[in-house]
Structure 1
Amino acid sequence: MAHNDTHAARKKGGAGKILLVVLLLLLLAVGAAVHFAYNEIHGNGAPGSTEVTVSIPQGSGVAAIANKLKEAGVIRSAYLFRWYVGQKGAAAKLQYGDFVLQTSAISYDAIIATLSQYAKAETVRVTIPEGTTAIAIAQKMESAGLCTAEEFLKEANEGDFSAYTFWQYVPEDKEAPNRFMKCEGYLFPETYEFLKDDTVHNYVATFYAQFDAQFTKEMYAALKKQGMTLPELVTLASFVQEEAGNSQDSNVAQVFRNRLAEGSPYPRLQSNTSSHIQSDADNNYLWNWVAPYYDGWDNIPENILTAYDTYSCIGLPAGPISNPGLAAIKAALEPQPDEEAKDAYFFVTDLKGNYYYAHTLAEHNANCKTAAAVNKSLKN
């Protein structure tokens, strides 16, 4: 009996020693981590630091900046830097540009102070109006001397932009074989300052980062509630942008949504902004952008022509026809129409900018005559 008690006491004592060792190791690990964090934050790095130039692209978030600093050897922990910037509330202060910093011997406060000053870097300002197509944006980038249009489109369509939330909802080409361009609709229209001699990837990322920032969690929730996909919304918004792009956004969006609704007697958009009509008078996506891309109308692949002709395809076409602004996107998502457009299936405009809405084809034909009379009076 005494022998068993002695054995149990030894076992208990052994377990206690193990626990003590584990606690000691944990304390040492915590101590080492605290010591590392203190030295890292206060710039007590390894001796023999050197100057490096760190280029921060426009639109970079704290995570991207932290990774750039770590790659350059300025900091040792991207996670710790992100945490510290958050604690300081300094994220909004960080600028883009070229910055000269020391490697491993500079405090986080000094880094933040340097990055908070606007860096003098050679930049090019490019303004992208709402409703600009991907090809037109690429051409603007080429005209600005930043990259070729071909390079821009290739990266925009084929590059890896999975870091952005919206990108996971944009199907790959194999999943959308009738779509003209993957990037169309997501190159957010804005005025940008681009660094000269930056990478094509960063140029494209600037557009995508802005789209990602504009599309909120509430908007994703509204999409889910409606059973609508992001490509469907952006496609609809691109038509709203082209047919309105003004105070009539919600009314036009409602007309299109009425046509797209289940059981609609008019399930086609029938918009001249993307149709079989070969006319320079219309802002026709197929005629003005798709046809030239394929060196002529007759060379457009049949599946793409069919998928984008809104007079033949039922429902939405295979993809957006431009890059819409936020107002058009919001109107397409949750329109707030006037009474005259709530149940309308048709609209027509005149050269004065008036919009006429109709529920029946007969009413629409009458509106077309009214609009034509207004147009004729302006030409006399």
Structure 2
Amino acid sequence: MNRKKNNLKIIVIVALACVLVAGIYLYSKLYTPASSSAPPALFLVKRGMSFNAIARGLLKEGFLKETRGIKIAAFLKGAHKKIKAGEYELSAQMTPMALLNALVEGRTKSYPVTFPEGYNIKEIAALIEAKGLGSKDDFIKHTMDAKAAADFGLKGESLEGYLFPDTYSFTKVATLEDIIRKMVATFKAVYVREFQEEAEKQGMTTLELVTLASIIEKETGQVDEMPLISAVFRNRLRKRIRLGSDPTVIYGIKDYNGNITKKHLLTRTPYNTYRNYGLPPGPIASPGRAALQAALNPADVSFLYFVSRNDGTHKFSNTLKEHNRAVRKFQKRRRRNVKK
């Protein structure tokens, strides 16, 4: 009897010792970092990468001393297929368990990108390419057709005007579709929350409002002038006077070189508001909140004309006679400044 008890005690002690050894082993594999003094570094998990490929990559980049620890951790957490693609800022001072948690939780590094008010699709595309987020040509291809707008339930010949200007954060693995989807979603959220109800009251469609706002945005960078510019265009629309907006003409020029000519003003294109009545067929850029607000809330004035003062502001006039006088004045001043 005593012998059996002794044998049982030995078995229990051995089992406990095995558990303790296993525990120490697991702890050392899961919670021992590869280094005690390594700086943070970037690690990219590409879309579709297998867990083994990720583990080998972490080993190769020096984040791990061996792959066994992170594989055990992944097995215990059932995390083999839960790692999220993206660029991570990791350190060899992180334990295998901490590394795995960061990858599973998707603590990716993101990069801020600011798209200014008044940028058109081509300018947005160029900025995206400059930031290393995708091809300019591919972005244009994804956004410059009516199907792209229709896919988001929007009217128009393209997504021009619907890519809301703002500061966004994108990861290195963000696709062009991800970027476009986020910018359009931001436009929709802002539009529905701040402008849709008033636009419907005034009988303006989304396309009409965004088109008018985009012209206002391109005509002036002065927020306090936007309601005045809006008033000029809305007065002209009401009186059936052509808008006569240079930015719309420029938008319709295929290879604009920065110099608008009389020939450009006389060439009939869908966007030439010197030749065509009413609004152009769609927006010419992405308007911001202030321009959208101004399009809905023009100043209570009877102005029909404006001309640049050559200092970022404009001179507004009620009559063509007043306008021509202002044009002569400021063109003369501009020529004098050029000579200096």
- Please state which band the TM-score falls in when normalised by the shorter chain: 0.5 to 0.7
What is the 5 A alignment of 1:360-379?
360-379=319-338
Of 239-248 and 191-200, deviating more is 191-200
Asked if 1:50 corresponds to 2:79, the answer is yes
Q: Which deviations, in whole Å up to 9, do the C-alpha atoms of 1:120-148 show, x marking residues without a partner?
A: 42x33322111111011112112222211
Asked if 1:269 corresponds to 2:243, the answer is yes
Q: Which deviations, in whole Å up to 9, do the C-alpha atoms of 1:215-271 show, x marking residues without a partner?
A: 13451111111111111111111110111121211100110010111xx1x521101
1:154 to 134, 141, 156: 141
Asked if 1:328 corresponds to 2:285, the answer is no
DSSP-derived class of the 1:216 partner:
helix
Partner of 1:126: 113
Asked if 1:318 corresponds to 2:281, the answer is yes
Aligned letter for 1:227? G
Asked if 1:142 corresponds to 2:106, the answer is no
DSSP-derived class of the 1:357 partner:
strand
Q: Distance in 2 between matches of 1:274 and 1:162?
A: 23
DSSP-derived class of the 1:371 partner:
helix
DSSP-derived class of the 1:343 partner:
coil
Q: Which deviations, in whole Å up to 9, do the C-alpha atoms of 1:202-221 show, x marking residues without a partner?
A: 01112112212221345111
Partner of 2:251: 285
Partner of 1:14: none
2:178 to 199, 202, 207: 202
Structure 1 residues 305 and 149, CA gap change in structure 2 (3 angstroms): farther
User: Do 2:220 and 2:313's aligned partners in 1 also have CA atoms closer than 8 Å?
Assistant: no
Asked if 1:224 corresponds to 2:187, the answer is no
Aligned letter for 2:235? N
Larger Rg: 2
Q: Kindly, what percent of the aligned residue pairs are identical? A: 32
DSSP-derived class of the 1:318 partner:
coil
Q: Which deviations, in whole Å up to 9, do the C-alpha atoms of 1:9-38 show, x marking residues without a partner?
A: xxxxxxxxxxxxxxxxxxxxxxxxxxxxxx
Which segments of 5 or more consecutive residues in structure 2 lack a partner in the other structure? 1-75, 87-100, 257-266
Q: Which deviations, in whole Å up to 9, do the C-alpha atoms of 1:36-95 show, x marking residues without a partner?
A: xxxxxxxxxxx9833412359xxxxxxxxxxxxxxxxxxxxxxxxxxxxxxxxxxxxxxx
Q: Distance in 2 between matches of 1:192 and 1:162?
A: 24
Partner of 1:73: none
DSSP-derived class of the 1:193 partner:
strand
DSSP-derived class of the 2:252 partner:
helix
Asked if 1:358 corresponds to 2:322, the answer is no
Aligned letter for 2:116? P
Report deviation, 1:353: 2.9
2:225 to 229, 237, 248: 248
DSSP-derived class of the 1:168 partner:
coil
User: Do 1:245 and 1:328's aligned partners in 2 also have CA atoms closer than 8 Å?
Assistant: no
Q: Distance in 2 between matches of 1:160 and 1:349?
A: 36
Q: Distance in 2 between matches of 1:161 and 1:195?
A: 25
- After TM superposition, the score normalised by the length of structure 1 is 0.57
Report deviation, 1:274: 2.2
Aligned letter for 1:308? Y
Aligned letter for 2:255? A
Which segments of 5 or more consecutive residues in structure 1 lack a partner in the other structure? 1-46, 57-97, 102-113, 172-178, 276-283, 293-303
Partner of 1:77: none
Asked if 1:170 corresponds to 2:144, the answer is no
Aligned letter for 1:361? L
Q: Which deviations, in whole Å up to 9, do the C-alpha atoms of 1:102-135 show, x marking residues without a partner?
A: xxxxxxxxxxxx68xxx242x3332211111101
Partner of 2:262: none
Report deviation, 1:345: 0.8
Q: Distance in 2 between matches of 1:169 and 1:213?
A: 13
